[in-house]
């Protein structure tokens, strides 16, 4: 998601954000937990995923700008609505090599707090989203249409009142169709080659019930995400 129109690998951006978060951690002290809340967040993400398409493995880059609205549904249960803009590129695509398809997605997640202490939280997350992107050039058009589900286990440890460390593992399932119309007409199924992704994240609370965070992902998804969040 970082100005997703330029989908270069975001290492320098995430390193800079990490330095910023660490440098500010000693200057902020707010409560790490609220008992009843609504959260809104804006997330910028760029990740690479290997997809199996017609017997080939194609590394695909997904850039997204996402808005999330999360509410506490019960004592240990949260629900989230998320939607956003997508920019997808695939250098090995034989029809539009290196050309970006753009579109959007909508979805939801449910989060159950297995442990919900002030200094430590353990959460399991079920996530679903539906995505569609397309592009065209002269007489050729290509459309991507896919469903994505994931199940994650995530922990968050508060090192101080304002600074927390997140660790998690995520199993993802992607199933979709690439449809080409025009000079070339075909329909190809695709899915994620691997499923497991690990992540590590740091989050800094700000003085006005806000948070700034960064996550790095390794495994079937490789890349990172920057999070801007506010609680109400």
Mean pLDDT of 42-55: 95
Per-residue pLDDT, 78: 95
| Burial zone of 149 (CB within 10 Å; 0-12 exposed, 13-18 middle, 19+ buried) | middle
How far from 111 is each of 90, 122, 146, 202, CA to CA, in Å?
A: 32, 10, 23, 19
More confident residue, 49 or 22: 49
The neighbouring-strand residues paired with 215 are 201, 225
Q: Decide: 4 and 87 in contact? Cβ < 8 Å.
A: yes
pLDDT in tens, 92-118: 888 877 789 999 999 999 999 999 998
Mean pLDDT of 144-157: 97
Per-residue pLDDT, 137: 86
Phi, psi of 21 (to 5 degrees): -65, -45
Residues 78 and 75: their CA atoms lie apart, in Å, by 8
Paired tokens of 44: 């910028």
Share of the chain above pLDDT 90, in %: 72
Mean pLDDT of 144-170: 96
Per-residue pLDDT, 12: 53
Give the chain's domains with CATH numbers.
11-231 (2.40.128.90)
Paired tokens of 199: 């992540």
């Amino acid at each position: 998601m970082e100005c997703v129109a330029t989908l270069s690998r975001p290492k320098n951006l995430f390193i800079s954000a990490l330095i910023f978060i660490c440098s500010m951690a000693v200057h902020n002290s707010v409560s790490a937990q609220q008992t009843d809340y609504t959260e809104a967040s804006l997330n910028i993400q760029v990740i690479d995923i290997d997809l199996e398409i017609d017997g080939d493995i194609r590394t695909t880059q997904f850039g997204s700008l996402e808005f999330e609205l999360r509410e506490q549904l019960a004592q240990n249960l949260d629900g989230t609505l998320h939607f956003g803009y997508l920019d997808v590129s695939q250098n090995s695509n034989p029809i539009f090599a290196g050309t970006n398809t753009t579109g959007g997605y909508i979805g939801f997640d449910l989060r159950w707090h297995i442990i919900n202490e002030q200094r430590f939280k353990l959460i399991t997350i079920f996530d679903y989203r539906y995505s569609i992107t397309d592009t065209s050039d002269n007489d050729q058009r290509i459309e991507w249409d896919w469903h994505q589900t994931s199940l994650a286990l995530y922990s968050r440890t508060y090192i101080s009142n304002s600074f927390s460390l997140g660790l998690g593992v995520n199993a993802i399932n992607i199933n979709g169709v690439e449809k080409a119309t025009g000079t070339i007409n075909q329909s190809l199924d695709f899915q994620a080659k691997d499923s497991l992704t690990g992540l590590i994240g740091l989050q800094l609370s700000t003085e006005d019930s806000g948070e700034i965070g960064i996550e790095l992902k390794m495994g079937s998804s490789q890349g990172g995400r920057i999070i801007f969040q506010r609680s109400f």
